[in-house]
Amino acid sequence: MPTDSGPCPYELVGGGFGMQRLKWSERIGQSLNAIVLGLLAVAMFFPLYYVFVVSFTDPGEYLQKKIVLFPQRWSAEAYTYLLSTPAFARSLGNSAFLATVGTVCSLAVSSSLAYALSQKRFYFRKVLMFLIVLTILFSPGIIPNYLLVRELGLINNIWALILPALANGWTVLLMKNFFDSLPAEISEAASIDGCSAIRTWYTIVLPLSMPALAAFGLFFAVGYWNQFFAALLYLNDSAKWPIQVLLQNMLLNASNIDLVAPGQQVETPPTEMLKMAAIIVAIMPVLVVYPFIQKHFAKGAMVGSVKG
Amino acid sequence: MSVTEQHFSTHKGRQTSSKRNRRTKWLSALRRDRSLYLLALPGILFFLVFKYIPMWGIVIAFQDYSPFRGIQGSEWVGLQHFTTLFANPDFALLFRNTLAISLLNLILFFPFPILISLGLNELRNVTYKRLIQTVIYMPHFLSWVIIAGLTLLLFAKGTGLVNELFALWGWPRVDILTNPDSFWIMVTLQAMWKEAGWGTIVFLAAMASVDTQLYEAARMDGAGRLRQIWHITLPAIRSVIIVLLILRLGDIMEVGFEQIFLMYNGAVSEVAEVFDTYVYRTGIEQGDFSYSTAVGLFKSVVGLVLVVVANRLVKRMGQEGVY
């Protein structure tokens, strides 16, 4: 991360004799600062820890104690129950579809446009860039978008969550900035060798941009996985719901109607535990890709916020 | 042919040929780089269909739109929906709630990432610093559904952890989620939990670009850590703070829609209804497409004006704007 790779101002004082040069009041300040930040991190982490721990507690123990900060008997019962319910498993599948297919489509559409716009010989690039920036500044609002999706006959179609989200002004802008930073000679040389723009984009520029594409892709994937409102608007059929809408129904509307395990008469784990297990399952994919995002995100997040 | 006539005709000729030239210029550009324009085509189509057709769809704000008659067949009513909105007592309520949430956000949320990043910048142990960063960035990637769910699991009156603890200590149970008095502060704290850590990135980057020699020199001159923060670190991030502050002011109409939508319940509707939730309720739930589009348009226009003004201010201060 750039924040760390930059020269650390305190390296000089950090080791060896340096420490001794600090006044005792400053050392107290240092420790106090470290403690306060540590407490902050603990406070931010605690909700996730609590939900994780309770979801893995033995149902009997949870019902008896109500407050579990560290279980004596672990159990994955809530998970086995939850994952055996068709509704939950199906919504996970829907979200996985969104996060994979959607991300690939988004990357293709956004990067092709951004690369084309980064080429100086593109005739209408100024006008197009202006029109793209305009979409960032002005949004027509929920209803016109809803009516468009309805006119296109996409209601109750999972593509209603992908097509309107294929690209957005910010991403195209950031990607164009990135392609601008690649040496122009690459595209020129390819063009002189008779390589078409499409082939240059696909066989030369994209492979060269893999790290950046990975970062953009991860952001797209997290965005699709977390997509909630569009799904609420466009999908009435609960069989097509992504995980976030199912979660909303489970956690906030307290409807467990769909969450019935088939066949055998299993004892239902406490609702609270099911909710917590559902949260953990829903954030698991994000937690898995998080280290990779973290490696990249500072780059991605920085390009737009601070230029140069 | 007289001289003037001749002159006139050649002039005319030149004009048309230059027009034709311009036309053939972009046509030949298209032909020469067919592949390049083909590459841009899906993206351009996307923006046309999904960003610009809805902009055209705004016209229904000035109609009595009926889905059966379509935009062509619907009756034009001028600014009727806007006058209805301004006369509606809900309007003042929407404005008050939006401003209150934005203001709290500005006072409580905005300084928080700056304080955290100042603290992080003072940490000597790189591993510890990275650990804390890893933890506090993470909530940014969680959806609002999850965060609303976590809030419920922790604070619900019946089974939430906090209330179970209160019960254990013999304190009365408190109801935070359906209390109109605490709604604004609750959504602000939620937003802080989710985004404050992420918000430090931009400040930390600005701090990392400070020349370390400045700190060296300050220390030689006997400046303590606090004075170094005051005289070196803070001035280094001042421009970033100002830019973000102005942009935040430009975004005052934007209050997290998904968040408020999810935390909304009947008990807090008085304080929780903002423009976007109102549009959803009148438009999607009640099917009043024209009126709700007008409400959304009003919000978007005010937002656009604020952002443009804010950006101009940023530029006037010699900073690079967002566009």
Does residue B61 lie in a domain region?
A: no
Calculate helix-pair angle for B126-137, B111-122, nearest 10 degrees: 160
Q: What is the pLDDT of residue B320?
A: 67
pLDDT at B71: 84
Whether B135 is covered by a domain: the verdict is yes
CB of B138 closer than 8 Å to CB of B193: no
* Of the partner residues B224, B283, B300, the one whose CB lies closest to the CB of residue A138: B300
The answer to whether residues B140 and B16 belong to one domain is no
The tens place of each residue's pLDDT in chain A, 308 residues long, gives 344 444 444 444 444 444 446 678 888 989 999 999 999 999 999 999 999 999 999 999 998 888 888 999 999 999 999 999 999 999 999 999 999 999 999 999 999 999 999 998 898 899 999 999 999 889 999 999 999 999 999 999 999 999 999 999 999 999 999 999 888 888 888 888 888 999 999 999 999 898 889 889 988 999 999 999 999 999 999 899 999 999 999 888 765 545 665 555 567 888 889 999 999 999 999 988 888 777 766 554 444 433 33
Instruction: Return d(Cα B292, Cα B299) in angstroms, integer.
Output: 11
Binned at pLDDT 50, 70 and 90, residue B20 comes out as low
Q: DSSP characters for B84-153? A: HHHHSHHHHHHHHHHHHHHHHIIIIITHHHHHHHHHHHH---HHHHHHHHHHHHGGGGS-HHHHHHHHHH
pLDDT score recorded for residue A154: 96
| Confidence check: pLDDT of B10 > 50 | no
Same domain, B193 and B263: yes
Q: B33 falls in which pLDDT band (50, 70, 90)? A: confident
B69 vs B203 pLDDT, higher one = B203
Claim to verify: residue B23 and residue B93 sit in the same structural domain: no
Q: Tell me if A167 and B47 make a contact (CB, 8 A cut-off).
A: yes
Do B8 and B109 lie in one domain? The reply is no
The 8-class DSSP code of residue B75 comes to E
Question: Do A122 and B40 count as a contact with CB atoms less than 8 A apart?
Answer: yes
Q: Mark whether B98 and B26 lie in a shared domain.
A: no
- Count Cβ–Cβ pairs < 8 Å, chain A vs chain B: 284
Residue A6's pLDDT is 40
pLDDT (0 to 100) of residue A254: 65
Instruction: State mean pLDDT over B68-81.
Output: 88
The Cα B211–Cα B219 span in angstroms is 14
Which residue type sits at B209? S
Task: Judge whether residue B17 has pLDDT over 70.
Answer: no
Cβ separation of B50 and A163 shorter than 8 Å?
yes
Chain A CB contacts of B129 below 8 Å? 4
Q: How far apart are CA B84 and CA B98, in angstroms?
A: 19
Nearest residue in chain A measured CA to CA from B260: A229
Domain shared by B28 and B98, yes or no: no
CATH number at residue B143: 1.10.3720.10
pTM: 0.87
Distance CA B57, CA A140 (A): 8
Judgement on whether residues B145 and B215 belong to the same structural domain of the protein: yes
* Pair (B177, B273) in one structural domain: yes
Q: Which domains does chain A have, with CATH numbers?
A: 86-259 (1.10.3720.10)
Q: How far apart are CA A201 and CA B202, in angstroms?
A: 31
Residue B19: inside a domain, yes or no? yes
pLDDT tens digits for B134-184?
999 999 999 999 999 999 999 988 888 999 999 999 999 888 888 999 999
Domain membership of residue B26 as a residue range: 1-32
Assess whether B121 and B206 both reside in one domain: yes
Token pair for B121? 């910048």
| Positive/negative CA dihedral, B54, B59, B64, B65 | negative
Cβ contact (<8 Å) for A33 and B240?
Answer: no
Residue B232 placed within a domain: yes
Residue B130 shares a structural domain with residue B261: yes
By CB atoms closer than 10 A (0-12, 13-18, 19+), residue B185 is middle
Q: Which residue from A minimizes the CA distance to B240?
A: A306
Helix (H) or strand (E) holding B223: none
pLDDT at B254 (0 to 100): 87
Query: Mean pLDDT score of chain B, rounded to an integer?
Result: 88
Give the distance from residue B9's alpha carbon to the nearest chain A alpha carbon, in angstroms.
32
pLDDT tens for B239-296 read 889 888 888 888 888 888 999 999 998 899 999 999 999 999 999 999 999 999 999 9
Helix (H, G, I), strand (E, B) or coil at B63: strand
Q: What is the pLDDT of residue B315?
A: 84
Best of A24, A119, A143, A149 to disrupt the B interface (most B CBs within 10 Å) is A143
Per the domain annotation, does B40 fall within a domain? no
CB distance from B124 to chain A under 8 Å? yes
Please tell me the predicted confidence (pLDDT) of residue B39: 95
User: Which residue does chain A place closest to B301, by CA atoms?
Assistant: A138
Is B136 part of any domain?
Answer: yes
Number of domains in chain B: 2
Side chain identity at A45, as an amino acid letter?
A: F
User: CA B133 → CA A42, A130, B94, distances in Å?
Assistant: 12, 36, 36
- Output the pLDDT for position A9: 44
> Could B205 and A302 be called an inter-chain contact, meaning their C-beta atoms sit closer than 8 Å?
yes
User: Can you say whether the dihedral through the CA atoms of B257, B259, B262, B263 is positive or negative?
Assistant: negative
d(CA B259, CA B281): 15
Determine the pLDDT at residue B82: 96
Closest residue to A67, CB basis, from B146, B164, B300 = B164
Q: Is B257 on the interface with A (CB under 8 A)?
A: yes
**Whether residue B223 sits in one domain with residue B148:** yes
Residues B28 and B100 in one domain: no
Q: What is the pLDDT of residue B314?
A: 83
Decide if pLDDT at B1 tops 90.
no
Residue B152 forms part of a structural domain? yes
